Structure formats: structure tokens, C-alpha cells
Chain A
Amino acid sequence: MKKNTIYTFSGRSIDELNVRGILSGELTSEDFRIHGERLNHQAKVADEAGYTQLAGNLRQAAELTHMSNEEILEIYNTLRPRRTSYTEMIDMAERLENERKAPLTASLLREAAEVYLKRGIVKH
């Protein structure tokens, strides 16, 4: 991989993304998805400029690039008040950490589980 080229999720370089490729059918919308490493790079830039929280969000977003829309929606719906029980949220965190290599998202789920329990907005 050339050092200064930006690559998308599918492995294409940014320079390959052009109208010709779309017309020929060679490029699909998958080729336009951001790569996790690019998000981590943006996180580093944000950190260096002092935007710590944004950097944290960008790193967590990098984890999500491996997941499908359906999966992300599932996590999102789980985080709605009173949708899931405390244990279900903890279990989901475990899976995210161990099976989906998403420790930051897992830690968000764990934090949510504790807070929701304290606030009384878990499902019983």
C-alpha cells in the first residue's frame, strides 16, 4: 500500500473513484465506504488539535466500519431506553469485544448498561 494514498474500505485508492468507473459498473457504493484506518487517522488529527472527545468518537466509528447496517441498527436500537435488559446489554458488550473486535463500542454498551440500570430505564 502506497504510504500517502488514501484507500477506501474495499481496498480501492481514492484516485480510482471516477465517473468512468461508475458508468462501466466497475465501482459500486461499497468502494466509496471509508476505511477504519482513515477514521483512526482523523482521530489522531483531532487529538493533536485538542479535540479529545471527537477523537474518541472517530476511533469508535472505525470499529463500526466492519459491521453491516443491520448490525449497527441493532446496537442503536438496543441503546434506546427500555429496549433491553441489563444482562442482554452486558452480553452484547461481550460479543462486541470478543467476536467483533470492537472494544470501544463494547465499553460504551457497558457504560450504558450501568447508567440505564441506575436510571431505571432497562427492560425487566
Chain B
Amino acid sequence: MRAGESRPVIHFDVTELDDWYVLQRDMQIDGGIVPVREDDVLRVRELGARAVQDVFRALDFAPISDAEVEAAITAFSSQDMPDRDRIADIESAMSLLEGSLTVMDVIKALENAGYRNIAENILEMQRQRAIGDYLQPSAIFDKNFRVKSAITDPNDYCGPGTGYRVEGERWSALQYLPQAWEPRNYLEKIITQDESFWFEESGSAQIGKRPEVIIALSPTFGVQIRQSLGGLDLREVLISLLSGIQEEGIPSRIVRVFHTSDVAFIGHCAAQLSGSGVAIGIQTKGTTVIHHRDLAPLENLELFPQAPNMNLDNYSQIGRNAARYALEKQTSPVAVKIDNTVRLRLIVQTALLQRFEANCIEPDRQPVELKMI
């Protein structure tokens, strides 16, 4: 995969649970799971794997090897597990189905092998079957095996601010993300240490007379920060825009805007300078707009607001479309990947990046023309 490309979100499975933690925390919603630490997970997995191994041994099923237990502790999927003799496993399963073994034997095996807690939990599940409280609607067991159901814990929601509230210990637990990092470190990480410039200023930007596309860069684009929010190299982004324009056979100019960090105003400003009236505005974070001289600043020809979902191909297509607008030819839609979790996931980084850019504004400085070197 190229830098900046991420896996398309086409399903929801355990690999998305990290994002689920973030949604719970940032929206103060109990989404049903609590963040866990890796060492706790490993400990529980090992306990479970060894218990299964010992039960298999006690019930004389096809044995589970130590290698299987080891693999199970860190396995992501069944592909990470060693192969077993499936015929032998089927025989064990048949003996369980047709023979006289019951859950009593499992409880005995666990107790005898020293798994007192697990044995008692399984016993308690059996007792609860005879009690039957769990048969009521929406029933769950809490960690003390008390039944919470529509009967014992009814839904008393009756308008905003009522009903179940995420608060107290549960709320603290939901906020304690093992993967959380200090936001201030983000900027430190992405502000470049590279002193070299890849632009040369060539005077203040003039109004053009011929058909062309201007690409207008935000104040910090490619200077203090050299990658987009999605991790794309900004030099490659710019080259992609330029190549798209070039494909349509009209010239382009690059201009830097200093007096604003707003992508719409950047694009609008450049559109006033463009011979064709068409300009591309782009922020350091990668947000892009195709603008036209005759439009109001907050209108646009096309807007690409989800920077993390963009790839370099998208930027070429944007360049191409801009050129086509300049030539008054038809354009085709730019197929940007759809991932609606991106805004919530990256809202902190987006805010930090954009604030940094806004702090670099020079309100009285006029746009200058740039050459790539």
C-alpha cells in the first residue's frame, strides 16, 4: 500500500474496536465494550487455553498440545493456530453427543485441575438455568451473576437527560484508552526538521491573461509541515495535481497565500488571479477546493472535505477536472473513498493542524508566485 492509503472499511470486526473505544469516549456513549490492556487480555487467554487443555485431558478427548496453547494466547485468527487431527476431534465430539458426559463432568474436571473460579462460574450458569430469571426480556448477567433485565432494570427513558446515563466508574473506564497519546506530541512529530526548501519565490502573484489553472497553497503547505492529515507526502500531492492539469494541455501556476488558512478563501483568492478564473485551493491537511472567480467565496465548483480519505490518484483527477473547467469541458466525479469514521477518529489531529496553520497567517502579506525546485 502506498503511504497515506488505508484499508477500506468494508466490514465491522475486532480490528475496528480501537475506533469503537474512541467513539465511546468522544461522544460519551456506552457502546457496550470497555477498553482492556494487552497484558490482561494475554493473561485471560492463557488461563482459558490451559483450562480447555486440562478439560480435554480429563475427558479423554483428542489432546491439546502445549504448542496449541502457546499459539492461542496471541492468535489473531484460526490461521495462526496449528493444525489438528480433525478426524480425532470429530470422534471426540461424537462421544460427547452420544455418550453420557454432561456439564457436571466438565465442572469436575475444572475443579480437579485447580480452576476453582471457572468451575464455579460454570456451575452458576447451571443454577441460573433452574432459576430462570434470565428468561425475561433483555436479560444479562452482571459480574456477580445478578440478572439485569427489562423487569429488574427497566428502561425509564422519558426525554433528553433521562434514562441511562454514562457516568461514574463506567464513564471513567470508557475514557481510559490504552492507545491514547498526548495531543501535544502530534505536532512535534509532524512539524518537519528538514531545513531544505523545495520552493523558490518568484515575485508577487499577478493576474494571468491566458487559460490556466492556479494551485494556491496555504501558509504552511510543504514548509513547516510536509505531509497531509492522511499521511501523503505534500510534494507528491502537488505533483499529482500538476500532472492532472498537464494532461489536459493547459499551463499551471503555483501561488502561496499568506493572509488566510481557510481553503475556500485561499481558492477564491487564487481564482481572482487565474486567467481562466479557475483555481485549486489546498490546505496543508490536504483539504482541497476547485474554485471560480465568479463564485462567492463559500461557493465552489468542487470541494473535497475528507482529506484522510484522499489518495494521489484523487489529486490527479482534481487537477484534471480543474483544467477541464478552465477549458469549459465536461468533468467526471472524483471517486474518493468513503469512510465516515474518519472525522471522529482524526478530529483532534485536524484541530491541532488547522490551529497551527491559522497561527502562521500573515494578514497583510500578498500572495507570491512559487516555482518547485
Q: Smallest distance from the beta carbon of A44 to chain B beta carbons, Å?
A: 11
- By the criterion CB–CB under 8 Å, are B136 and A46 in contact? yes
A23 close to B (CB within 8 Å): yes
Closest chain A residue to B111, Cβ basis: A19
Q: With contacts A45-B151, A51-B137, A54-B137 known, is A23 near B108, CB below 8 A? A: yes
A14 is an interface residue with CB less than 8 A from chain B: yes
Contact call B135/A32, Cβ cutoff below 8 A: no
Please, how many angstroms separate the alpha-carbon atoms of A46 and B120 in the complex?
Answer: 29
Per-residue CB proximity of A20-59 to B under 8 Å, as 1/0?
A: 0011000111001111001101100110010100100010
Please tell me which one of the listed residues B104, B107, B119, B130 contacts residue A14 in the complex, with CB atoms under 8 A apart: B130
Within 8 A of B (CB), among A69-111: none
Checking A9, A23, A27, A28 against B111 with a beta-carbon cut-off of 8 angstroms, the contacting residue is A23
A17 near B123: Cβ-Cβ < 8 Å: yes
B130 to A22, Cβ gap below 8 A?
no
User: Once the chains bind, are B123 and A29 in contact (CB under 8 Å)?
Assistant: no
**Chain B, interface size: which category?**
20 to 34
Q: Does B150 contact A (CB under 8 A)?
A: yes
Q: Which residue of B lies closest to A30 (CB)?
A: B102
How many angstroms from the CA of A17 to the CA of B104 in the assembled complex? 11
Interface: A6 (CB within 8 A): yes
Beta-carbon contact of A18 and B104 below 8 Å: no
Q: Name B83-117 residues within 8 Å CB distance of A.
A: 102-104, 107-108, 111-112
In the bound complex, how far is the Cα of B136 from the Cα of A46, in angstroms?
A: 7
Asked if residues B133 and A22 are in contact (CB atoms below 8 Å), the reply is no
Which of A6, A8, A29, A33 has the most chain B CB within a 10 Å cutoff?
A29
Q: Given A17-B123, A42-B136, A49-B150, A29 and B131 touching (CB < 8 A)?
A: no
Chain A residues within 8 Å of B104, by CB: 22, 27-29
Do residues A17 and B130 form an inter-chain contact, with CB atoms below 8 A?
yes
In whole angstroms, what is the CA distance A32 to B129 when docked? Answer: 7
Contacts of A33 in B (CB 8 A): 129-130
Check B127 against A14 for contact (C-beta < 8 Å): yes
Contact present for A19 and B107 (CB under 8 Å): yes
**Nearest chain A CB to B28's CB is how many angstroms away?**
30
Give chain A's interface residues, CB within 8 Å of chain B. Answer: 6, 8-9, 14, 17-19, 22-23, 27-29, 32-35, 38-39, 41-42, 45-46, 49, 51, 54, 58
